[in-house]
Amino acid sequence: MRGNLGKAFDVANTQVFRRAALPKSYTDVVGRLLFRFLLTVQGLGAFALITLGVIVKKFGVSPSVMQPRIRAEISRAGIALMPMFIFIALALGFVVVGQTVSALAKFGQINYLGSTMVIVIVRELGPLLAAMLVLARVGTAHVIELGTARALGEVEALEALGIDPVHYLIVPRVIGTALGIFALTIYLIIGALVSGYLFAFLQDVPLTPGDYFSEITNALTWLDFVLLALKTMAFGFFIAIVTCYHGLAQPLRLEEVSGVAVRAVTQGVVVCVLVDAIFIVLYLLT
Amino acid sequence: MNESDFNPAVVAMRGAHIVSLRDATFAVVSDVNWTVLPGEFWVVAGQQHSGKSDLLMHAAGLMTPARGSCTVFGCDTKDFGEAQIAERLRIGFVFSGGKLFNHLTLAENIALPLRYQKNLSEAEAGGKVQTFLELFELTPFADAVPSSVAVNWRQRAALARALILQPELLLLDNPLDGLGGRHRQWLLDFLNQLWNGHHAFVGLKMTIIVTADDLRPWRDPQKKFAVLDEKIFSIVGSWNSVAESRDQIVKELLAGTDSVTL
């Protein structure tokens, strides 16, 4: 394989650590695991940088083909998931917000409502839950579609037509997933906060809608908006990178696709938690 | 002007070690020296797993040899990148079995290279795609996805997709594999027309390289033949040389599967 993908997978295809005849021992097993982990990190990093490079370099290339593809991916990772997100927002409002509001009211600590809601829903639960749901619904589809396309030789077919597979296959998925998670997180947060108030209202909590929303808006700072946007986009970017990387890495056989999908979802979850941890540090620093 | 300034060869391999697509460290054919001149029709024959597909992918610049060199239109394939897109689009490649994109219909598959490379909308590319669909008798299957049509039509759609940008060099990997009798004859006739200048391509005479596991359908005194066996690429020459060859592998490839007795 040539071009951008070839560069990304040169690293990942390094089989030397897996083939080397080493004595069987615990340190050997740990060493192999560690090397495999480092190779995956290196491969993912290279793939992420190459994809970013292609997004920038080929921004205006063939818009009449690429724009419908990007729109289709936004629709798939955003609009198509709205019904599920409305259901999850209602559930989140009931489970978390409604209970928290009534508990705070019971102990007379309703003035902590704003900051609690902002930390729990706006900063943490909303973005992470949205990312996990998109990973489950769209990320798995990426791995399976790309894994099948790779196994059937469609990637080589693209290269033979002078089409960069990273541009045609990966860029729309990355942009679609990043924008999809960003938009869905906003809707999830708004839905959860509104439905949370409704559930609190049903429990006879003495709180007017005006007081409830002014508590929350007072607790929000401009930084919350900026970091929320960055965080959700980062979730989307890394979910797409991890799932696309595993879909395309190495010449797959069809029977390997399901195993790769499982690995990609696990790594997707780990990467999202790591990104979240970085943002927690950012919140604490500011 | 010395020889290196004037290089008429379409494909030139010098001491090229052909590697496998699955494992880039494994040489499937070693030390290939081969020159394809404009307007030639080459048939490279070999048994299954002899490295025909890998050799063809090297000749198209989709892979690079482990050692030695391979130049296409005077450009070393090691340098093939975004900057050489003009050279790369002079090459049309038809994979074994077609390798069409399964998420697109046959018409969209044929239109994709044209739309992507020339930035055309579906409507703008529509006229040319329609002409190609008619030329390849694919109009009834235009809106079908590849998995729902027979291999005969998939192969034709793959050929149409490779030709829509009007390449000068056409490479086909085992194009007759799995085709029915009528479709085999249609393809052989069509390739001969392309070679001699097809009216749909303004009479442009294409250089064609095909791989095959049976030499008989390609019988033609004007075509050139080479065989692959035991990691060795050997040029046989014209059909007369093929017919007179005492080489065991050439005899096997001429006998086809009919000679297999149990």
Residue A157 in contact with partner chain B when CB distance is under 8 A: yes
Reported as a single tens digit per residue, the pLDDT across A141-175 is 999 999 999 888 899 999 999 999 999 999 999 99
Nearest to B149, CA basis, from B88, B100, B91, B208:
B100
Contact yes or no for B67/B13 (Cβ under 8 A): no
Predicted local distance difference test score (pLDDT) of residue A104: 86
Tell me the C-alpha distance between B67 and B16, whole Å.
6
Residue in B with minimal Cα distance to A54: B82
- Tell me the pLDDT band of B54, cut-offs 50, 70 and 90: very high
Q: Evaluate if residue B207 carries a pLDDT over 90.
A: yes
Helix locations, chain B, DSSP H:
52-59, 85-88, 106-118, 122-135, 151-163, 181-196, 239-244, 248-255
Query: How close is the nearest chain A Cα to the Cα of B22, in Å?
Result: 7
* Statement: residue B212 has pLDDT above 70: yes
Residue with tokens 């930084």: A223
The CATH topology of domain B1-90+206-262 is Rossmann fold (3.40.50)
Q: Are A163 and B112 within 8 A, CB to CB?
A: yes
Residues contacting residue B244 through CB under 8 Å, at least 6 positions apart:
none
Give φ, ψ of B231 to 5 degrees: 65, 10
B27 neighbors B66 (Cβ within 8 angstroms): yes
- For the entire predicted model, the pTM comes to 0.87
pLDDT bucket at A20, cuts 50 / 70 / 90 = low
Amino acid at A237: F
Contact A160 B112 (CB under 8 A): no
CA distance to partner chain A, nearest, from residue B79 (Å): 10
pLDDT digits (tens, 9 = 90+) for A198-246: 888 888 888 888 888 888 888 888 888 999 999 999 999 999 999 999 9
The answer, for A3 touching chain B at a CB cutoff of 8 Å, is: yes
Chain B residue numbers touching A3 (CB-CB < 8 A): 81
Best residue of B79, B99, B112, B120 to probe chain A, by most A CBs closer than 10 Å:
B99
Which residues of chain A have a CB within 8 Å of the CB of B95?
153, 156-157, 160
More confident residue, A50 or A4: A50
Q: What is the pLDDT of residue A143?
A: 93
Measured between beta carbons, the chain B residues lying within 8 angstroms of A63 are: 119
State residue A94's pLDDT score.
87
- What ipTM was estimated for this complex? 0.89
Q: Which residue from B57, B64, B102 is facing A152, i.e. has the nearest CB?
A: B102
Q: Output the CA–CA distances (angstroms, integers) from residue B207 to A41, B7, B38, B107, in the order listed.
A: 45, 16, 6, 26
Q: Residue ranges per domain, chain B?
A: 1-90+206-262
Phi-psi sector, B210: left (phi>0), alpha (psi -120 to 50), beta: beta
Q: Is the pLDDT of residue B163 over 90?
A: yes
